Structure 1
Amino acid sequence: MFYLFSVFLAFFLAFLLITKKDKSSADLILAIWLSAIGLNLASHYMLQTGQYTIYPSFVFLGFTLPIVYGPFLFIYVKKQTSPESFSWKYLLHFIPFLLSNLLFVKFYIAPFEERVDIFKHHGSGFENELLIRLYAIYISGIVYVVLSFRILYRYRKNIVQQFSNTEKINFNWLLYLIIWIAIIWALVLFVNTDIIYGAVAVFIIWLGYFGIKQVQVFNQPAVSFAGQPVLSPVSEEEEKKEDIVSSDRKYQKSSLTQKNIDDIHDRLTSLLLNEKPFVNPNLTLNELAAMLDVHPNYLSQVINSKENKNFYELINEKRIEEYLQIISQPESRQFTLLSIAFDCGFNSKTSFNRNFKKYTGVTPSEYQKN
């Protein structure tokens, strides 16, 4: 019953995603992935209950479905952290799944009784093919978990260059997905099949709970995790080394002259002082760049080189300065401190407290006492 419940839940969650309002391509990818997991669990249940004697080909096909877990994870994470439109090149990731099944063409075209007999003799006659399938599952899981971690790590590291508030950008959802698949693959390497499929069933239950209760993946309009595209002003090779190079080295291939940098910085300073765009809690680098009529990459370079800060730090510093200026006025006493913070562009108490202490060295309550 446990497996059947997980199968039903997998298809139910896929149905919620397909019928979801304003669904994204990432939602459809997750729906197909959930359906594949549901079929995989169903085939294992049929094997456990002896129903392979009725549906031998379906059960056998289910044995190869774990190969697609990794590609679906990778593509889903990529779509959630990148504004790129869906590309048919993603289908290339499923070639190993097709090749794996081609190895068993002789099984699929064999007479019904022969297919059942192969099951009864634990894959007799297909020992080498089954070994290849097993190693394909091992390699696929390990490679795609590493690639998915890499994508999320790079995205998280660069997000402060693009957003002024990061609280609502839910990294945990993607991070937990990757960790779950990593755990399942660790089990694949070291424990028996029943424990593995038990973990997959628990994964589906967790995914349903966390996706609905915590981040509303299944019942809210699609949320952009990635924001707008911001292309790197440096080569990809240099970007990989950005942790160990100076700011000057990072932007050495930029076409901006020092005069351009000074001009953009002057206009930025004037804009922040007079128009105060930072009071918009959802302000992004792209939006600020549009106000200045410059490319987001160049604006990011100017902020980094002239202010020695990233976009997130600069905007939140301006919000704190605005907050301190407002509370210094007697008429502000009729408002709560938190409402003033929200008016300055903060979208949560946690974000305000953290940035306030970073900027002033004390908490808001300590500052008020002094």
Structure 2
Amino acid sequence: MAMQPDLTLFSIILLVGAAHGLFLTMTVINIKDSQGSGRLFLALLTFACVVDLAHEFLFQTEYLLDALQLAYLDPVVNLLYGPSLYLYVRSLTEGSLYKFRRWQWLHLLPFGCAALLCFILPNLSVEQFYELYYEDAAAVSSAQQLVGTFIGGIALVSVISIGSYLALCFRLLFLHAKNIRQQFSDIESITFNWLRNLLIAFSVIYALLIVDGFFTGLLGSHEDLNNLLYVMVVAMIYAMGYMGMKQPDIFTSRESLRILKSNQNDTDDLEALDNGDSDEQSKYKTSSLDSSMSSLLKDELEKHMLNERPYLE
């Protein structure tokens, strides 16, 4: 039967990653800024990683045998990855034009249905569960066969779901980049590095997931691939948490054009005043502000633009 649970370096990495990911999830939720719902989708994506890591920790240490109610979290939680990633990418690429509509809850319907099905699965004894999960023994009882079929089916659906949503995410980013190129000569003025790198990281993890789930019999390296897969998930949690909170909005081209023009006009006016341009100064001759107050307001505006960078919000 089960061995005495013990902690290994790998299980400690999983636990620390899950704990830190939970903290970052709460931090992202509590941020109030212009990204709005985009932050919530990032939090949902991070939380899915947290649940995945926590489940793997319980599995590796065999503490899962003491909490069989949590046994089916994986791969059910994998059904959250695709929708949350897609909605996050969509919210950032559409910027302030993005509005979450009720029908978009349908993206989470597969996860909800799978979670509900977990409650009607037959209860396995600790011995039956250990044989099925830890010893990879052939299912003997009808209950084991049903659970094994359910887990395998959900795993297949989650793989298809993640792959489909990844393709949609890359399409969104490609179309948005193409749209911006048509409006601006300097594509580097709009930063796509964060989303691009995030999608690449998910693609690598997705490839490892496929190899780990379907081709380990040929490669004979299931444990190494599995460990690498979850270590990458831990690394991605840190990236999503820290970089995601600092990443400016990716605007639509129309919104970007308006902001850039506004900032350029403000800059031109300030430079004209500094250079003593007579035409520009004549605009303010009838102003009720004296020179000292105007200078003070100008300094405050420049300080605010430099420190707060509102044009990135």
Structure-2-length-normalised TM-score: 0.65
Identity within the alignment, %: 28
The question of whether the paired residues in 1 share the 8 Å contact of 2:83 and 2:108 is answered with: yes
Q: Secondary structure at the match of 1:106?
A: coil
Question: Can you give the 5+ residue segments of structure 1 that lack an aligned partner in the other structure?
Answer: 218-222, 231-277, 289-318, 320-370
For 1:323, the equivalent position in structure 2 comes to none
- Give how far 1:162 is off: 4.3
Cα distance in 2 between the residues matched to 1:18 and 1:189? 31
For 1:53, the equivalent position in structure 2 comes to 65
Say yes or no: does 1:6 pair with 2:22. Answer: no
Moved over 6 A (4+): none
Say yes or no: does 1:183 pair with 2:204. Answer: yes
Cα distance in 2 between the residues matched to 1:180 and 1:207? 11
Q: 1:48 to 1:25 in 2, by over 3 A?
A: same
Larger CA deviation: 198-207 vs 135-144: 198-207
Cα distance in 2 between the residues matched to 1:86 and 1:62? 28
Relative contact order: is structure 1 or structure 2 higher (C-alpha 8 Å, sep ≥ 6)? 2
Cα distance in 2 between the residues matched to 1:201 and 1:35? 12
Q: 1:161 to 1:134 in 2, by over 3 A?
A: same
For 1:303, the equivalent position in structure 2 comes to none
Question: Can you give the 5+ residue segments of structure 2 that lack an aligned partner in the other structure?
Answer: 1-11, 134-143, 213-221, 269-313
Cα distance in 1 between the residues matched to 2:193 and 2:116? 38
What's the CA shift string for 1:84-136, capped at 9, x where partnerless? 211122211122222333443333x63xxx35344212253222212211211
Cα distance in 1 between the residues matched to 2:153 and 2:66? 26
Cα distance in 1 between the residues matched to 2:156 and 2:126? 24
Specify which structure has the higher proportion of helix: 2
1:266-345 map, 5 Å: 282-283=260-261
The question of whether the paired residues in 1 share the 8 Å contact of 2:79 and 2:158 is answered with: yes
Cα distance in 2 between the residues matched to 1:143 and 1:95? 15
Cα distance in 1 between the residues matched to 2:163 and 2:78? 12
Amino acid at match of 2:31: K
The one of 90, 103, 110 equivalent to 1:89 is 103
Provide the aligned C-alpha RMSD in A.
3.1
What's the CA shift string for 1:178-232, capped at 9, x where partnerless? 11111111001112333322221122233345446xxx14xxxxx43124768xx
The question of whether the paired residues in 2 share the 8 Å contact of 1:26 and 1:76 is answered with: yes
For 2:194, the equivalent position in structure 1 comes to 173
- Give how far 1:71 is off: 1.0
1:9-158 map, 5 Å: 9-22=20-33, 24-82=36-94, 83-107=97-121, 110=123, 114-122=124-132, 124-125=144-145, 126-158=147-179
Q: Secondary structure at the match of 2:72?
A: helix
For 1:300, the equivalent position in structure 2 comes to none
Q: 1:209 to 1:19 in 2, by over 3 A?
A: closer
